[in-house]
Structure 1
Amino acid sequence: MRRLVRLATALALASAVPAAAETVAFTGARIVTAGPAGTLDPGVLVVRDGKIVSVGKGSPPAGARVIDASGAVITPGLFATGSLLGAVEISALGDDLSVDNPQIGAAFDIRDGLDPASTLIPVARTGGLTSAVVLPQPAGGGYEYHEGEGDVAGERMTAGGGQGPRPNTLFAGQGAVIRLDGSDDMVVRGGIGEVVAFGNTGARAAGGARGAQIAALKSVFTDVRAYAANRSAWERGSYRELGLSRADLEALVPVVQGRTPLIARVHKEADIRAVLKLAREEKLKVILEGAEEGWMAAADIARAGVPVILYPYADRPESFEVLGSTLENAARLQAAGVTVALTAPEGAAHRARETRYAAGTAVAWGLPWDAALAAVTLNPARMFGVGDRTGSLEPGKDADLVVWSGDPFEPLTTARAVYIRGQAQSLTTRQTELRDRYLDLGTPLPPAYKHR
């Protein structure tokens, strides 16, 4: 307990001066790098100018400001993968999650409407999150919110989207990786993938049948390849008519060329296999999202080298698309050799801070601890093209790290300090401000609160 009190004092002092302005060495902690250095207990982590200088054993460099983190655990900052952070505030008042426009589907870019001042971002940081993979939502299906209710699975997602009007586009749009420091330059990388819903939602978009969606997508990809090879003729009006707008055609060129992944929101084993077949035939790079029945096709997913984003709590047969869902999904996929990333309840927005609890649940159901850490750090960083700058504690990478009071997957553990690019982040949120404001009922209230 005394060690943690000393640590809290040291971190408070560290927050007073931006870490990027000097060389700072964290000593005494158990450092879990999620990288080649493995776990160092204790280790020394050196940060300068927003970057990690070194991580290893020994003594801190001369002149460094030393933070004694004895008794703490230091990990890379966590990722909120498949997140809605920055794109949603209060869902009942509207959001920037989806578009239902026949002219703008694939071209919709989630980063253009992100809000760095979202009150949900500071809350996410309290759970050790430093980055987020923000993905648009398919029109007519995907996430449904039930704020204030306790049903975790219901808050997360309604698999297959249920019934509703037919969407006007097959494509939900492009995602982005953001840093959660609330800065105007929060976007780390845009255009990270093109989201497409399969299963019931995808079938509705194509007219009601799963086979129709596959046929429609193949037709689209043929048009995109034709457009890429004949841009000049198409612009002159001397080429055949194509089925998409120019904006959507341009957005899909990197997809058909295998440079940008198709992020397939899919649940059922049969649909997963259909996506893998489509990717193989069209030579597409694919990431599966959802994949509640992924374990049933684990060998084929691993053989195809396709990574999976999944929700570890999904274990109820809420629809015919997820009859085979199980809490062991992550463990079984990882054991088969699949790269796994984990997401949190409610689209990793209002409850994004629970990402670490989701990882802990996956560990409780068989996923190795180190694999769970990778699933919320390095794996999503690599999936979406930012693994060279974040996701693990390695020299040259951004100093995105969290100082924990203990095992980050234990519910009673807290994030004592969060750093993004070497800058100590505030752990104050709108909720803590309201708590502190009304904690002492003897404190005079503003005039508007007084009875007349």
Structure 2
Amino acid sequence: MIARIAKLAALALAVAPAALSAQDIAVRAETLHTMDGPAISDGVVVIRDGRITAVGPAASTAIPDGVEVLTAKVATPGLVDARTVVGLAGFMNQPHDQDQLDTSKPVQPDLRAIDGYNPDEALVDWLRSFGVTTIHTGHGPGAVVSGQTMVAKTWAKTADSAAIVPRAMIAANLGASALDREKGPGTRPKQIALLRAALTAAQAPAPAKGDGPAAQKLDMQVWKDVLARRVKLMITANRAQDIMSALRLKEEFGIDVVIDGGAESYLLIDELREAGVTVLLHPTMARHYGDMENASFTTAAKLREAGIPFALQSGFEGYVPKTRVILWEAGWAAANGLAPADALSAITIDAATAIGLGDRVGSLTVGKDGDVALFDGDPLEYASHVTGVVIDGRVASREVR
């Protein structure tokens, strides 16, 4: 274990970028997957002032003089991890670097992810080295409402500069991970009752000025924002019964709900499609036990076939190194029925859309952020390597991973 930790720490130092300065840059690839149309043979992406200014075949896309040109066999948009706790959960797996869960109360929607996010965490560097440029991260499973999530770029050196959406969603959890038979809630009905009580209370008129403790006011404002559909309620639910409870809550209060996990979502295809929800699907290789004992390698393919919007994620792991890599998860999904193009979409444009940023990241489109991942082969092949990462037009990694 000590040797593994030391190796990860050394890797973090090796791949962590120095202070990244803005630059004009171009990427030329034998195959360019823009995720905004067909792949381009011998394609070019030009980035100026952090934004994409040109995309197309090299024969018809001019590269400005004096611009550094990175080359690759294959290039894709920077990868988007649709659900993780990286930056709050650290690779040391010790109390001092585990801020993704506070167990003092079962419902704490006012806990902000940005207040616990550590951009210098080794796992942020780890994910970036594998082409992940955007992460939807924050409070994790273990409480009925564990806190808020945020969307961050993986290059910045302060939480404020990393965050592109400081409050993305409110993280709720149903099922075994959020049950406490001693302190409560001890049953699934109690979990839903706590959520229903919080939302019902927020429907009441605002209390008189000065009434109630400050923490209660913060909680209430969050729930009012959920009711007003200013922020989505992301509910981690893997059992079919818990997914259905989440859908009932959505219907009852008319709120926007995103299903996180969804191990048994393949059993509820019609219900999910009718509800119009997005699924942040569990990592393909997640361990199949407990609430995930009925998870399937083919769920991603079934959701795609049914037209249910979904994205892949790295999720949360309770052991070192605390995270998975979405690139590998997409590869496994492609090996189990999901078309390769759809697997790549699930960690780029579909993931960006799922977290509300499809207009900014996830595809190589003029006007979007200059985020590019470079490879020496098919990104979904195990033998391929990431050879470079560009974030907001900055070279964030030149390592071969």
Q: TM-score, normalised by structure 1?
A: 0.76
Shift in CA distance, 103/302, structure 1 to aligned 2, threshold 3 Å:
closer
Shift of 1:80: 2.5
| Inter-partner Cα distance in structure 2 for 1:106 and 1:68 | 43
Structure 2 CA distance for partners of 1:355 and 1:201, relative to 1, 3 Å: closer
Corresponding residue for residue 109 of structure 1: 112
CA distance in 1, matches of 2:79, 2:87: 16
Within 5 Å, give how 1:182-331 maps onto structure 2: 182-184=156-158, 185-204=161-180, 207-226=185-204, 230-231=205-206, 233-237=207-211, 245-314=216-285, 318-319=289-290, 321-331=291-301
Q: Partner of 1:41: helix, strand, or coil?
A: strand
Residue identity (%): 26
Could you say which residue in structure 2 is the equivalent of 1:9? none
- Note the C-alpha offset of 1:212: 2.6
SS in 2 for 1:182: coil
- Partner amino acid for 1:357? W
- Stretches of structure 1 that go unaligned for 5 or more consecutive residues are 1-14, 142-166, 433-452
CA 25–213 in structure 1, closer or farther in 2 if over 3 Å, else same:
closer
Given candidates 356, 369, 379, the residue that maps to 1:408 is 379
The one-letter amino acid of 1:256's match is L
Q: What residue in structure 2 maps to residue 437 of structure 1? A: none
Residue 163 of structure 2 aligns with an amino acid whose one-letter code is: V
User: Closer, same or farther in 2 for the Cα pair 1:307/1:64, shift >3 Å?
Assistant: farther
Aligned length: 376
- Name the SS for the 1:287 alignment partner: strand
> Distance between the aligned counterparts of 1:17 and 1:135, measured in 2?
24
Q: Deviation per CA, 1:353-404: give whole Å up to 9, x if none.
A: 6321110000011111121112111222222222222111100111011111
Using a 3 Å threshold, how does the CA distance of structure 1 residues 17 and 273 change in structure 2: closer, same or farther? closer
Opposite residue 403 of structure 1, the aligned amino acid is L
Alpha-carbon shift at residue 324 of structure 1 (Å) = 2.6
User: What CA distance in whole angstroms lies between the structure 2 residues aligned with 1:189 and 1:85?
Assistant: 16
More helix by share: 1
4+ aligned runs moved over 6 Å, structure 1: 15-19
Give 1 or 2: higher strand fraction.
Answer: 2
Task: Say whether the 8 Å CA contact 2:330–2:344 is kept in structure 1.
Answer: yes
Q: Separation in 1 of the partners of 2:19 and 2:115?
A: 32
Q: Would you say the 8 A contact 2:310–2:354 is kept in 1?
A: no
Deviation at 1:345, TM superposition (A): 6.4
Question: Any residues of structure 2 matched to 1:345-424 within 5 Å, and which?
Answer: 346-347=316-317, 350=321, 352=323, 354-424=325-395
Code of the aligned partner of 2:94: A
In 2: Cα distance, 1:19 partner to 1:395 partner: 21
> Match of 2:384, as an amino acid?
T
Structure 2 unaligned residues grouped into runs of 5+ = 1-16
C-alpha displacement of 1:331: 0.9
Q: Give CA deviations for 1:265-290 in whole Å, capped at 9, x if unaligned.
A: 11111211121111111111111111
Which residue pairs with 1:52 in the alignment? Answer: 52
**How far off its partner does 1:246 sit?**
1.2
In the alignment, is the contact (CA less than 8 A) between 1:315 and 1:326 conserved in 2? no
Question: Which of 66, 69, 87 pairs up with 1:67?
Answer: 69
- Tell me, what secondary structure is at the counterpart of 2:373? strand
TM superposition shift of 1:68 = 6.5
Q: Distance in 1 between matches of 2:177 and 2:383?
A: 39
Larger Rg: 1
Equivalent residue, structure 2, for 1:151: none
What TM-score do the two structures reach when normalised by structure 2?
A: 0.85
- CA–CA separation in structure 1 for the residues paired with 2:42 and 2:304: 29
